Amino acid sequence: MTDIRVVTYQSTNADAGKEWIAFLTMPNGEYLPVRFQGATEDAASDAALAEWEKHRAEREANLARREEGRRKAAKTRSRKTEVNAAYNSKNREA
């Protein structure tokens, strides 16, 4: 797991079973804009981590697709540079 932190708060005036709220904090310090509730601190924290893990495969697939797109774009740029260089070289000789 990445450096995800769970931040919890206890409310004294919340509905029964929702006394604890948990948020996930990203490595860059930003909060995931979703809250998780539970009757205990552990329940709220566990719910937050379970949701994070549930979407792990999707996040990893998205990162892999993004990286593949970057590789393809770099290859295209490289090919265009080679074609332009060959074209310019040919025109200079003429």
pLDDT, one tens digit per residue, over 7-32 is: 999 999 999 999 999 999 988 888 88
Report CA dihedral (12, 16, 17, 19) to the nearest 10 degrees: -10
pLDDT of residue 74: 87
Angle, CA of 74, 77 and 82, to the nearest 5°: 125
Provide mean pLDDT across the span 67-89: 82
Query: Per-residue pLDDT for 56 more than 70?
Result: yes
Does this model's pTM top 0.75? no
Mean pLDDT of 37-45: 96
CA 55 to chain centre: 10
54 closest CA partner among 40, 36, 69: 36
